[in-house]
C-alpha cells in the first residue's frame, strides 16, 4: 500500500501477469474556502449547483460545514447526472454533469458565497459554453431573450414565485420551472419551456404561486413551439378561496406571445388552463415558454 498526496505518484516495480492496482479514495465530503466563498468536494468529485435541480429563489442559505450529504439518485436520474446530493435544502450534482442541458438557460455554479443568495446565485454567466471553445465559434448562439423587467416580474422564481403543473413530458422532467426562469424561447430554439405530458388529452394547466398576495393587473404569456401554441385557454386567479377568471381566449392565432390587462385583483395564485393547442400532429401536447405577472 502506498499513501498518495494530491498530485501524481510513481509506482516502480516489475509488473507480472495478474498484477492489480486498487485505488482507495477518501469519500468524505469536505469544503475549500477562498475569498469568502466555499466549494464542495466528495472524494475526487467537485460538486456544483445546477439550475435544473436548485432553481433560483428568494432566500439565503448558509451551508452547514458538517456536510452531511444525502444521496439523491432520483435527482441525478432526472437530469442525467452521475450523482446528486442534498444539503441544507439544496441539491448538488457532480461538476462534470453540471450544465449538461446544453443551453444558455441551464446555468450552474461551483464557488458559493456565504451566506448564499439564491436569487442571484446563477448570475455568473457559467453555462455549458464556458466549458467549450465557444469563444472561437464563427457563428455563436445569440443571447436568449429575457422577460421585460426582472425586478418587477412577480412570476419570476428569483422573486420568490413557484410553478406547478398538471403534468410534464417524460423527456423533459423539471420543465415546469422553466416557465418562471426569466428566459424566453425563440422560434428556432424552443427547448426552454414547460411541456405537458402527451399521454393524456387537454386540458393541461400550469400554476404560478407568488411569494405573497399581491395586487396584479397584467399577465404576459410567451409560447414555445410556434407550431404548437395554445388556441383555447383561460387564466384564473384565486381570490377568497374561489377561482376568478381574468383571461378567456378562444380561437387564438398568436404563435409567440399573448398579453392581457384586467382590473387589478389581489391574489397569490395564477393558473393558466390550456383547452386546445394548434399542432394536429401532437393533439395532446401543451407548452409554455414563460409567464410574466405584473402589478
Task: Tell me the mean pLDDT in the region 48-65.
Answer: 86
Query: With 60 as the cut, is the pLDDT of residue 140 above it?
Result: no
166 occurs within a structural domain: yes
Task: Tell me the mean pLDDT in the region 104-124.
Answer: 85
pLDDT for position 254 = 95
pLDDT band at 262 (very low <50, low <70, confident <90, very high): very high
191 occurs within a structural domain: yes
List of residues 6+ apart from 100 with CB closer than 8 A = 79, 80, 81, 106, 128
- C-alpha cell, 84: 446528486
Domain boundary among 90, 112, 136: 136
Query: With 60 as the cut, is the pLDDT of residue 158 above it?
Result: yes
Query: With 60 as the cut, is the pLDDT of residue 131 above it?
Result: no
- Per residue in 210-240, pLDDT tens? 999 999 999 999 999 999 999 999 999 999 9
Same domain? For 152 and 231 the reply is yes
The total domain count for the chain is: 2
194 occurs within a structural domain: yes
Q: Is the peptide bond before 78 cis (omega within 30 degrees of 0)?
A: no
Closest CA to 150 of 21, 14, 82, 56: 56
pLDDT for position 34 = 83
The Cα–Cα gap between 167 and 117 comes to: 30
Domain boundary among 104, 136, 168: 136
For residue 158, the SS3 value is: helix
Find the helix or strand (DSSP H, E) in which 212 lies. Answer: strand 204-222
pLDDT for position 4 = 67
Percent of the chain with pLDDT over 70: 91
List of residues 6+ apart from 44 with CB closer than 8 A = 25
pLDDT for position 135 = 52
22 occurs within a structural domain: no
Query: With 70 as the cut, is the pLDDT of residue 12 above it?
Result: yes
Closest CA to 121 of 113, 129, 133: 113
Greater confidence, 104 or 182?
Answer: 182
5 occurs within a structural domain: no
16 occurs within a structural domain: no
List of residues 6+ apart from 213 with CB closer than 8 A = 266, 267, 268
Same domain? For 261 and 168 the reply is yes
Same domain? For 171 and 275 the reply is yes
Same domain? For 155 and 98 the reply is no
Q: Which CATH number do you get for residue 161? A: 2.60.120.260
pLDDT for position 129 = 61
Task: Tell me the mean pLDDT in the region 245-271.
Answer: 97
- DSSP label at residue 5: -
Task: Tell me the mean pLDDT in the region 156-184.
Answer: 92
Same domain? For 92 and 194 the reply is no
pLDDT band at 94 (very low <50, low <70, confident <90, very high): very high
Query: With 90 as the cut, is the pLDDT of residue 115 above it?
Result: no
Residue found under cell 438557460: 105
End-to-end distance of the chain based on CA atoms, in angstroms?
A: 67
Same domain? For 85 and 195 the reply is no
Same domain? For 43 and 162 the reply is no
Percent of the chain with pLDDT over 90: 60
pLDDT for position 269 = 98
111 occurs within a structural domain: yes
132 occurs within a structural domain: yes
Same domain? For 158 and 228 the reply is yes
Burial class (CB in 10 A: 0-12, 13-18, 19+), 95: buried
- C-alpha cell, 236: 384564473
Domain boundary among 86, 107, 136: 136
pLDDT for position 152 = 96
pTM of this structure: 0.62
- DSSP label at residue 113: E
Query: Is residue 224 a contact partner of residue 178, using CB atoms and an 8 Å limit?
Result: no
Same domain? For 157 and 94 the reply is no
Highest mean pLDDT among 18-22, 23-27, 99-103: 18-22
Task: Tell me the mean pLDDT in the region 193-208.
Answer: 97
Same domain? For 114 and 161 the reply is no
Mean pLDDT score of the chain: 89
pLDDT for position 247 = 98
Same domain? For 110 and 152 the reply is no
Same domain? For 131 and 190 the reply is no
pLDDT for position 227 = 94
Helix locations, the chain, DSSP H: 73-79
The Cα–Cα gap between 169 and 206 comes to: 13
Domain that holds residue 100: 29-136
**Dihedral of alpha carbons 52, 53, 59, 65, sign:** negative
Query: With 80 as the cut, is the pLDDT of residue 8 above it?
Result: no
Amino acid at each position: 500500500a502506498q499513501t498518495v498526496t494530491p498530485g501524481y505518484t510513481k509506482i516502480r516495480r516489475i509488473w507480472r501477469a495478474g498484477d492489480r492496482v486498487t485505488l482507495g479514495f477518501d469519500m468524505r465530503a469536505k469544503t475549500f474556502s477562498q475569498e469568502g466563498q466555499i466549494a464542495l468536494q466528495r472524494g475526487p468529485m467537485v460538486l456544483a449547483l445546477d439550475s435544473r435541480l436548485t432553481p433560483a429563489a428568494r432566500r439565503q442559505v448558509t451551508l452547514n460545514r458538517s456536510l452531511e450529504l444525502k444521496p439523491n439518485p432520483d435527482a441525478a436520474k432526472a437530469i442525467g447526472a452521475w450523482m446528486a446530493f442534498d444539503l441544507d435544502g439544496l441539491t448538488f450534482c457532480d461538476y462534470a454533469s453540471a450544465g449538461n442541458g446544453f443551453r444558455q438557460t441551464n446555468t450552474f455554479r461551483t464557488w458559493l458565497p456565504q451566506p448564499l443568495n439564491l436569487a442571484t446565485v446563477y448570475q455568473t454567466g457559467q453555462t455549458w459554453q464556458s466549458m467549450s471553445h465557444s469563444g472561437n465559434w464563427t457563428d455563436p448562439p445569440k443571447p436568449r431573450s429575457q422577460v421585460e423587467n426582472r425586478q418587477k416580474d412577480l412570476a419570476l422564481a428569483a422573486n420568490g414565485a413557484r410553478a406547478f403543473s398538471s403534468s410534464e413530458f417524460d423527456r423533459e422532467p423539471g420543465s415546469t420551472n422553466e416557465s418562471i426562469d426569466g428566459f424566453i424561447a425563440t422560434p428556432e430554439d424552443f427547448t426552454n419551456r414547460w411541456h405537458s405530458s402527451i399521454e393524456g388529452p387537454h386540458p393541461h394547466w400550469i400554476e404560478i404561486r407568488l411569494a405573497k398576495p399581491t395586487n396584479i393587473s397584467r399577465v404576459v404569456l410567451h409560447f414555445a413551439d410556434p407550431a404548437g401554441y395554445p388556441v383555447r385557454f383561460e387564466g384564473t386567479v384565486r381570490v377568497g378561496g374561489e377561482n376568478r377568471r381574468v383571461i378567456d381566449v378562444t380561437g387564438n392565432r398568436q404563435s409567440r406571445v399573448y398579453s392581457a390587462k384586467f382590473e387589478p385583483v389581489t391574489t397569490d395564485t395564477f393558473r393558466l388552463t390550456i383547452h386546445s393547442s394548434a399542432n394536429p400532429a401532437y393533439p395532446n401536447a401543451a407548452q409554455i415558454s414563460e409567464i410574466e405577472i405584473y402589478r
